[in-house]
Amino acid sequence: MFWNREKRVKVELTTPINISIPPLHPVREVPADPQEVKTNTDLAFKLVVYGAVFLQSALVVTGYSVLLAYYEQFGIDTNELTLSTPTLLLYGYVNIFTGALSAASRIPIFGPALLALLFIGVAAIFIGLITKRLKAQVIIGLSTWIGFSMFVVFLAPAAGVKKGVNMGLEKFGEYAGQPVPTALETIHSVTTDKGQKLTGHLILADTKNTFLLVNGTVFKIDGSTGRVIRETDLRAEEPKTKSNK
């Protein structure tokens, strides 16, 4: 037989292996600090870009309006002129600057301070829009620093113009051997194509034409040929009186 009773079968009992996995604790996200200051850089960039575009547009429109009304008094149409964007920006800035200073000069002591506070207020609104949960004292400090810097930048071009005027007056006094004047009057002379010499006050000279005021008459002179294109007589308009019926 294939089975042998004398053959022994050895069975060995072993201890079962137990594998225990410790329970996993869920990772808790640390909540954001409600007091953390946040800055919206995208909004800040957009506000700066939009503000620059708006300011440039306002200066161009203001400069064009000033020149339009100014040249109309001398019978000059702006369509005859070549007005560049830098020229319009300059006249717009000068008009806004003189208007702001004249308004501030009405209050001798507090006027300039109110003008500076206007810039500080604009800076405070800007900081308040782009930040969240910023402390009030920080907003005040930042807006004061930024607003005062804007105020200085606003005054810087005017200070440069004033410096240039003083330098010109000093050089005139030095070259002419005279005391330094407070202002200078400029008289221009233009020779026409017919040899006629016209002397008066220069209203405007661009790349095409020259406009010269001589004794109440505005001469439009071609810049290349010297030909007189037009003469415009100016007279003071009498005030209109209402007739009694």
Question: Looking at per-residue confidence, does 20 or 78 come out higher?
Answer: 78
| Nearest Cα residue to 161 out of 93, 102, 60, 207 | 93
**More reliable by pLDDT, 159 or 24:** 159
CB atoms within 10 A of CB 123: 21
What percent of the chain is helix, strand and coil (3-state, nearest 5)? Answer: 50, 15, 40
Mean residue pLDDT across the chain:
83
For residue 75, the 8-state DSSP code is T
What lies within 8 Å, CB to CB, of 131 at 6+ separation is 37, 38, 39, 40, 139
Q: What is the mean pLDDT of residues 199-203?
A: 92
HSE, CB side, 13 Å, CA atoms: give it for residue 57. 6
Query: Which tokens go with 26?
Result: 């869920």
- pLDDT value of position 151: 87
Q: What is the pLDDT of residue 12?
A: 58
Does residue 30 have a pLDDT over 60? no
| CA 83 – CA 42 distance, rounded (Å) | 36
Is the pLDDT confidence value at 11 over 80? no
DSSP symbols for 152-192? HHHHHHHHHHHHHHHHHHHHHHHHHTSPPPS-----EEEE-
Residue that wins the pLDDT comparison between 27 and 119: 119
| Rounded average pLDDT over 34-53 | 82
Q: What is the mean pLDDT of residues 156-169?
A: 88
pTM (whole model) above 0.85: no
The predicted pLDDT at position 242 comes to: 61
pLDDT on residue 33: 52
Name the residue with higher pLDDT: 30 or 39. 39
Tens of pLDDT, residue by residue over 119-136, are: 999 999 888 888 887 788
Q: Report how far Cα 196 is from the mean position of its chain's Cα atoms.
A: 45
Q: List phi, psi (to 5°) of 41.
A: -70, -35
How many percent of the chain have pLDDT more than 90?
A: 26
Q: Mean pLDDT across the stretch 212-219?
A: 92
When pLDDT is cut at 50, 70 and 90, the band that residue 245 belongs to is very low
**Does the pLDDT of residue 113 top 80, yes or no?**
yes
* Distant-in-sequence, close-in-space partners of 113: CB < 8 Å, separation ≥ 6: none
Do 134 and 37 form a contact (C-beta atoms < 8 A)?
A: yes
**Does position 69 have pLDDT exceeding 80, yes or no?**
yes
Taking residues 97-102, report their average pLDDT. Answer: 84
Cβ atoms 193, 227 nearer than 8 A: yes
Highest mean pLDDT among 92-106, 132-146, 163-177: 163-177
Q: What pLDDT does 19 receive?
A: 59
Average pLDDT of 54-80? 91
